[in-house]
Each structure stands twice: as structure tokens, then as C-alpha cells.
């Protein structure tokens, strides 16, 4: 089960998800597709070795509680490093910690990325100690029929090991990028980490076609996740140092359109990832810019994309 780890920008509006809890001020949300996974486990439970539908669903929920702990570790360290954490989103393939922006320093990204697998290893170690104290054997590896403590140990050990693979955007891929930044700039490090992530994803899909279709889904997730993170990094890097006035159009004739979304910024404010995400999420991909209660212009996604796609000077 991969961990998508921190994703930058504000959470998109109108997503097919719902809140289930708030921990340390961080909202935990579940994607609706997770309900399909619950139904699948309940349906297959009696015939899959779990013994009953209740046991199968309980095991799934326990695993996702461990995923929440993994994501909370990311989020709390990110908060200590100065990032604002919007939420944690759970979906069938894992979880995403939604951060306000990308970590600016390689040391911050390293710390945020590594702490998730360390949390999973801590859970695995704790479960192993309790299992041994209860006289349970840690072998064989069995995530279906084994003792619960042993299963928790192996599930979290495997979660940590998988996420430590140097495949962007998994935790190990982000650690890899942070280490690359010691010798190259962020964009170059991201491109190299993305290529490694793509290669790993393709290999995972190839193996999955021969062994287990679940690996195919994970491989596709990793491939497109790496591409999305590369794109986000390019946007983040190329927006740096640019202000709203550089792409704002003076188009006051449309200010009376009902329901037109607005954003309160000044012309000299920085163009940020969050502002671009707001424009992208607007129904018409444009926002009215308001400064001191006065509409002064329009931000359009096409103009921002033109700026981002412009070759660096």
C-alpha cells in the first residue's frame, strides 16, 4: 500500500470525500471509493481466510488506522517545520497529507518524508514486542490467518519497506530527491527522481501483470503520481519571484457576472501555488482580483500557464 505523502496546495473543492475525524487540528477525510474497498472485504471475507466479513472489515480498518498514524507523523513534522497542513485524505491505495506548499529546504523534505516510514517501523516493533510477550511466533508471514499482533507487525514493516523504495513520489523517492539537492537544483533533482519513479512504476506494472493485478494499480498510481509531483514542482519553481500584476488582466466589464469567484490579493502580492490552485479550481478557470474592496482585474489560468511554460531566462 503506497503512501502518497505530502501533496502541496489547498485541497480541491467538491471532492467525493467526507470527514471522519479531526486529530491535533488536522481533519481526516475518506474518499468515497474507500467504501467500495470496505464492501469488497465484507463480501470476500468469509471465503478469503479471514473467517468472517466482520473480521475482514476489522482488519482493513486496523490497517488504515496504521496508515493514519503514518500520515500524522508526516503532518506533525511538516507543521513543526513551518508548513500548514490542510488535511489527510484516505483512499483505497493509501493516504495523502495535504500541505500548503512544497518544503523549501532539502533538510525539511528529508525530515518530513523519513518520519512516516519510521512511524510504521515503530508500530511494527511495538507489535512484535507484544507478540513475543504473549508467546506468539513472528513467523511465517501471514497477513490473513496469522495472529493479529503478528499481522500488524508484518503489515507495518512491509508498509515502511515499500515506502522507503527510492521511487518518486513515495517517501523513499522524496528522501532521494532531498539527497540529490545536495548536488543539483530542485528542478534537476525532481526530474531525476521522477524518471526513477517512472522506471519503478513500469517494472511494478510488468510484474503485476504476471503476479498480482493489485501491483498494476499501485504501479499506475506511482507513475502518474510522479508526473503530477514533477509538474507541481515546475510550477512552484517558475512562479517564484513573480507577482500578480505580471499576469493579471484589467477586465472590469465582467465584474458583474453573478457567481463569479473572487480572490482578495494586491497586484504586488506573490503568485503562489495556492493562488494558482484557486484559479484552476474556479468553474471558469479565472478569478476576479480585489484590492481594498475594489475589483482591479482578472487572473486567468491560461495566462498563468503561459508564464509557467515560458523557458527560464
Q: For residue 260, give the CATH number of its domain.
A: 3.90.1280
219 & 270 share domain: no
73 & 209 share domain: no
Helical axes 273-281 vs 213-239, angle rounded to 10° = 120
Number of neighbouring beta carbons within 10 Å of residue 260: 16
264 & 158 share domain: no
Does the pLDDT of residue 16 top 60, yes or no?
yes
Helices (H) and strands (E) in the chain, counts: 9, 8
**What total number of domains does the chain contain?**
3
Between these two residues, 144 and 29, which has the higher pLDDT value? 29
On whether the CB atoms of residues 290 and 263 are closer than 8 A, the answer is: yes
On whether the CB atoms of residues 70 and 96 are closer than 8 A, the answer is: no
Instruction: Flag the least confident range among 80-94, 195-209, 246-260, 281-295.
Output: 246-260
Does the pLDDT of residue 249 top 90, yes or no?
no
139 & 220 share domain: no
Q: Is 286 left (phi over 0), alpha (psi -120 to 50) or beta?
A: beta
Whether 267 is covered by a domain: the verdict is yes
228 & 266 share domain: no
195 & 281 share domain: no
Helical axes 148-163 vs 53-80, angle rounded to 10° = 40
Cell of 120: 510504521
Picking from 164, 198, 225, the residue at the C-terminal end of a domain is 164
109 & 45 share domain: yes
Picking from 132, 164, 196, the residue at the C-terminal end of a domain is 164
How far CA 210 is from CA of 50, 165, 197, 215, 255, in Å, comes to: 25, 21, 20, 10, 57
Active site residue 71: yes
Split at pLDDT 50, 70, 90, the class of 254 is: low
Does the pLDDT of residue 56 top 70, yes or no?
yes
230 & 195 share domain: yes
Does the pLDDT of residue 46 top 70, yes or no?
no
Provide the residue range defining the domain that includes 198: 187-240
pLDDT at 215: 87
25 & 125 share domain: yes
Does the pLDDT of residue 301 top 90, yes or no?
no
Picking from 240, 265, 283, the residue at the C-terminal end of a domain is 240
Does the pLDDT of residue 199 top 90, yes or no?
yes
Split at pLDDT 50, 70, 90, the class of 11 is: very low
101 & 229 share domain: no
pLDDT digits (tens, 9 = 90+) for 117-154: 999 999 999 999 999 999 888 888 888 887 889 999 99
Cell of 228: 503530477
Does the pLDDT of residue 90 top 60, yes or no?
yes
Q: Which of 71, 229, 230, 286 is catalytic?
A: 71
Amino acid at each position: 500500500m503506497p503512501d502518497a505523502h505530502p501533496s502541496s496546495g489547498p485541497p480541491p473543492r467538491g471532492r467525493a470525500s467526507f470527514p471522519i475525524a479531526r486529530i491535533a487540528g488536522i481533519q481526516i477525510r475518506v474518499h468515497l471509493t474507500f467504501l467500495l474497498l470496505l464492501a469488497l472485504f465484507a463480501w470476500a471475507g468469509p471465503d478469503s481466510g479471514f473467517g468472517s466479513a466482520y473480521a475482514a472489515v476489522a482488519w482493513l480498518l486496523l490497517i488504515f488506522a496504521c496508515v493514519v498514524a503514518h500520515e500524522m507523523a508526516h503532518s506533525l513534522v511538516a507543521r513543526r517545520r513551518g508548513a500548514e497542513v490542510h488535511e489527510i485524505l484516505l483512499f483505497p491505495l493509501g493516504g495523502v497529507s495535504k500541505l500548503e506548499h512544497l518544503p523549501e529546504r532539502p533538510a525539511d523534505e528529508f525530515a518530513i518524508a523519513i518520519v512516516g516510514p519510521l512511524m510504521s517501523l515503530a508500530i511494527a516493533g511495538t507489535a512484535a514486542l507484544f507478540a513475543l510477550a504473549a508467546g506468539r511466533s513472528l513467523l511465517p508471514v501471514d497477513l490473513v490467518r496469522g495472529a493479529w499482533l503478528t499481522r500488524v507487525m508484518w503489515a507495518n514493516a512491509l508498509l515502511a519497506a515499500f515506502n522507503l523504495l527510492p521511487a518518486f513520489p513515495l517517501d523513499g523517492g522524496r528522501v532521494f530527491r532531498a539527497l540529490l539537492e545536495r548536488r543539483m537544483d530542485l528542478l534537476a533533482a525532481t526530474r531525476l527522481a521522477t524518471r526513477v519513479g517512472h522506471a519503478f512504476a513500469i517494472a511494478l506494472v510488468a510484474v503485476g501483470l504476471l503476479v498480482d493485478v493489485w501491483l498494476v494499480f499501485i504501479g499506475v498510481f506511482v507513475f502518474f503520481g510522479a508526473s503530477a509531483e514533477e509538474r507541481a514542482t515546475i510550477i512552484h519553481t517558475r512562479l517564484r519571484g513573480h507577482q500578480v500584476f505580471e499576469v493579471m488582466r484589467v477586465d472590469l466589464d465582467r465584474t458583474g457576472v453573478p457567481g463569479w469567484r473572487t480572490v482578495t490579493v494586491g497586484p504586488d502580492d506573490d503568485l503562489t501555488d495556492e493562488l494558482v490552485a484557486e484559479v484552476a479550481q474556479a468553474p471558469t478557470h479565472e478569478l476576479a482580483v480585489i484590492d481594498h474592496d475594489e475589483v482591479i482585474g482578472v487572473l486567468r489560468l491560461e495566462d498563468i500557464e503561459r508564464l509557467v511554460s515560458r523557458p527560464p531566462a
